Structure 1
Amino acid sequence: MGVASLRTASGPTISWRAIECWGAGISLFFQTGALLPLMLSDADGTLSESAKSILRLPCLPIYAFTILVLIRNFPQFLTAVRRNLIVPLILALPFLSTLWSIGPSSTLRRAIGLLFCVLLSYILAIRFTPRQLLFLLFTTLGACILLSVVISVVSPALATMPDGAMRGVFVHKNVLGWYASLMILVATAVLIDDKLGLRRTAFILLAAGIICLASSGSMTAIIATIVAFCLIGFYSLLQRSSSIGRIVIVLFFIQLSVGILISLHEFLVPALEALGKDATLTGRVPLWELVDREISDRWLLGYGYQAFWTDANPEATHIWTKIGWAAPHSHNGYRDILLSFGVMGMIPFALMLPHAIRQGAFLHCYDAQYGWLWLNVLTIMILVMNLTESIFLVQNDAIFILFTTAIIMFSLYAPVVSSSPSPSWQASRVAV
């Protein structure tokens, strides 16, 4: 099919591909929560109800763009849906949860927002290759990080939180830390991938990402960055090994990961106390203890999608009173899934993740020329982030959009590569 285009009144032609690229980049930029929320927030990053209403307006053109591109690529969208039925199943859960939600209207409104976010993930998965998506993210996150550095120099009061930590163009230091961590991953991937030819720019953005990460002081982001570099080494070693060697490497990595998690569970708090650090992980440990009790009360179906952390819920008010601060979520993505959907929602999510990780590793080993490394690392990075933050199934959030995009892309292209003795992008395009 030829390249469709639009012609302006004065004569120049704009291709649909340019509209897709610019539209996707702008959509991701707004979904990061950069700049506009900072301009509308208080000094401590708090957003009023009127500010939140204003922030919903930029989502409308993003939704319109998503629908437009989806209509133009509907057969490819159906193919992506058929190749991973767990994603639409999980997407249906928020709508189904309105039947038992303690706040049905809030659940339904947020479920609609999540629907459009996942649809945008489908657009990114079917219209961009891994390397194209890397470049798109390189430019989008690069703009956010460079703006953060610039605004911290031009207006330090605006770019700094009351505690002195840098927040850049975001409302909170942790958010800056998350995107700085992703920027470091993306810049490193561009340096590794010499086909993009952006090494000088990548070095600049890598340095800017490191500055923002260190200045934010976000431990979650710092740990995720360390994990990312470990994973880059792991996946690089996996690709170069033979079939038996890969099995050994994977088993060793799984045992090492389990050992680290057990060690953290047993020795992290005593170690922090011995070092004079906050053993509650900035109030997360007592929060998790209270949240676990609420999960056990509705362990089967939960409280409804994002219905727990609302002012109308007395259980949430009780937790806020106990811990002394208004937690916006559980600071743990896995616990928030259980709060929203119970065990019935966690089961499909738990089934989807190992399958996606296996498909991603397969693509990296047998189709590495198309740049699957960074998407594999990104997926596990976000899994690590959700141990102390809540990013899963969040509407209008760029990180969750990218996470879902990676899972969809893995399931979309893995069957093509596995059925082709000589994988090529042309074969993938025909199948998609």
Structure 2
Amino acid sequence: MATLRISIDALIMPVRNDRLAIVAVCLTTFMIAYAPLFGPIFILGFYALWFPLLFIGAKRIIGDPRPYYWILPFSLFACISAAWSPVAGLTIRGGLQYLTTIVCALIAARVVSVRALTIGLCIGSCAVLIYSLLFGQFSYDPLDGVYSFIGAFGSKNQLGIFASLAVLSAFGVLFAIKAGRILRAMALASGAFGTFSLYAAQSATSTITIAAAIGATTGALLLAKFSPRHRTVFFTTAVPAALVSVIIAMTSGLYGAILGVFGKDTTLTGRTYLWQRGFEIAHEQPILGIGYQGFWVQGFSRPEVLWQQFYITSRTGFHFHNTYIETMVELGYVGLFLLSTIVVGTFAGYIYRLLTATRRDDLVLFGITALFLARSFVEVDFLNQYTIGTFLVFYAAGMLAKPQRERIEAGHRVFLGRNTLSSRGFNSGAVI
């Protein structure tokens, strides 16, 4: 019995399963990235990594479900929307797949330390990019009028998210977690692959949003050096100044100049038109929406027109390039409120932790949350099943909902060189 207990702990206890967790996250990243390419075998592999853990240690993994009261309602509402969806079968199937993807992310939040997630994401993203560099291709974009590298994906934006994650996770390994020389060398390689892929893809949105996320994480690292009282003062001073700077940039020629560097105009390659059409369609059924994944359906006149206008010959894999507009179209104001609760609650939760008793894992998850928050205004990363955005955003939310006592007992002690964080900043010898 003791041996069995040890074996179970080695699988589900973050303090003891680091190597297995790193492998699981690495495989998850690769299988999610190329599930559309390799088909159901990768999706089944994704489920096989996480769901069996429920049977191994269900009580310890599920724990008290009450802290997740603000996380699960959105995906449950997506399933319920089959009741009024014009394609009920597609909606219920997509909703259940989305829900199970979120459940896998919440399982990961219980059994995978942030250190293991960061390393696994760094290695996995690097593997994704290497595969794309070896077997990928260039594609002509009729809207931009240029050839862009899309790797082994269907678009440069899909390559862009994994390139961004390679850069961000490499930054985390180098500056936010305990890592040896070999891991740091791998992180440098991953960051280099990510940077090159961003350049080759010429994805303006990915480049700008990863720059914003790295900037926000760097600011959080600097902020954490001060006591909580001083952090609050600096934060309340810096945020308004940053917002004013963004407004000035948006209303001046600087915004157009930045986009011009990437060969973009102020319409963001037709995104503003898509947003306008999305708003118009959303207000036809404003309360409950059309139904989860009930709009982009082949044979329906409005998506067919948009596919034709944007040269989407496959008539799949397209969206309104804005998470909130997409949500309004599919799930109305109710869905928008439920999703906003998750997004705002997660981001605000990590800001609160950064301003109080900062831990290194909070800094990493703050960076991930900041990246997907920035991308949510121009992409749709965490609204669909089997996407890395859904997995990481709900992992971050799950870690936030995890009781602080369990986070401490998880035992992942992460250091910054010889100095570590305490509630008053960086003090030599203090453990986080």
CA distance in 1, matches of 2:401, 2:268: 36
CA distance in 2, matches of 1:230, 1:16: 32
Structure 1 residue aligned with 2:268, among 266, 281, 301? 281
Structure 1 residue aligned with 2:54, among 70, 73, 90? 70
1:345 and 2:346 correspond? no
Shift of 1:17: 7.9
1:248 and 2:233 correspond? yes
Shift of 1:18: 6.5
CA distance in 2, matches of 1:99, 1:259: 44
Contact 2:109/2:398 (<8 A) preserved: yes
Contact 1:299/1:342 (<8 A) preserved: yes
The match for 1:420 is none
TM-score between the two structures when normalised by the length of structure 1:
0.81
TM-score between the two structures when normalised by the length of structure 2:
0.81
Structure 2 residue aligned with 1:223, among 195, 205, 208? 208
What secondary structure does 2:7 align onto?
A: coil
The match for 2:421 is none
The match for 1:412 is 402
Amino acid of the structure 2 residue aligned with 1:180: A
Contact 1:187/1:205 (<8 A) preserved: yes
Contact 2:129/2:193 (<8 A) preserved: yes
What secondary structure does 1:161 align onto?
A: strand
1:385 and 2:387 correspond? no
Shift of 1:62: 2.4
Contact 1:114/1:395 (<8 A) preserved: yes
The 5 Å alignment of 1:106-145 reads 106-145=90-129
The match for 1:45 is none
CA distance in 2, matches of 1:161, 1:331: 19
Taking only aligned residues, the RMSD between alpha carbons, in angstroms, comes to: 3.1
The match for 1:372 is 362
Contact 1:189/1:374 (<8 A) preserved: yes
Shift of 1:232: 1.7
What are the superposed Cα offsets for residues 194-251 of structure 1, whole Å, 9 maximum, x if unpaired? 6211222222221121111111100111011210221122211331233332223332
Shift of 1:367: 5.8
Shift of 1:59: 1.2
The match for 2:425 is none
The 5 Å alignment of 1:329-344 reads 329-344=319-334
The match for 2:424 is none
Compare 233-242 and 171-180 and name the one that shifted more.
Answer: 233-242
Shift of 1:76: 3.5
Compare 262-271 and 245-254 and name the one that shifted more.
Answer: 262-271
What are the superposed Cα offsets for residues 106-158 of structure 1, whole Å, 9 maximum, x if unpaired? 11111121122111101210111111111111211121123333x1xxx6xx4
Contact 1:113/1:395 (<8 A) preserved: yes
**Structure 2 vs 1, CA of residues 222 and 285 (structure 1 numbering), >3 Å: closer, same or farther?**
same
The match for 2:426 is none
1:86 and 2:70 correspond? yes
Contact 1:80/1:126 (<8 A) preserved: no
CA distance in 2, matches of 1:323, 1:427: 48
What secondary structure does 1:160 align onto?
A: strand
Amino acid of the structure 2 residue aligned with 1:255: P
The match for 2:388 is 398
The 5 Å alignment of 1:288-303 reads 288-303=275-290
CA distance in 1, matches of 2:355, 2:45: 39
CA distance in 1, matches of 2:218, 2:322: 27
Shift of 1:268: 7.1
Compare 56-65 and 201-210 and name the one that shifted more.
Answer: 56-65
CA distance in 1, matches of 2:252, 2:286: 28
Amino acid of the structure 1 residue aligned with 2:139: M
1:168 and 2:151 correspond? yes
What secondary structure does 1:396 align onto?
A: coil
The match for 1:11 is none
Compare 64-73 and 323-332 and name the one that shifted more.
Answer: 323-332
User: How many residue pairs are counted as aligned between the two chains?
Assistant: 392
Task: Work out the percentage of aligned pairs sharing the same amino acid.
Answer: 22
What secondary structure does 1:87 align onto?
A: coil
The match for 2:186 is 201
Structure 1 gap ranges (5+): 7-14, 38-53, 418-422
CA distance in 2, matches of 1:308, 1:118: 22
**Structure 2 vs 1, CA of residues 297 and 348 (structure 1 numbering), >3 Å: closer, same or farther?**
same
Amino acid of the structure 2 residue aligned with 1:372: D
Structure 1 residue aligned with 2:220, among 230, 235, 246? 235
What are the superposed Cα offsets for residues 340-380 of structure 1, whole Å, 9 maximum, x if unpaired? 11111111222233332233234456665553212111111
Structure 2 gap ranges (5+): 11-15, 141-145, 414-432
**Structure 2 vs 1, CA of residues 167 and 400 (structure 1 numbering), >3 Å: closer, same or farther?**
same
Compare 132-141 and 159-168 and name the one that shifted more.
Answer: 159-168
CA distance in 2, matches of 1:371, 1:108: 35
Amino acid of the structure 2 residue aligned with 1:32: A
CA distance in 1, matches of 2:117, 2:304: 42
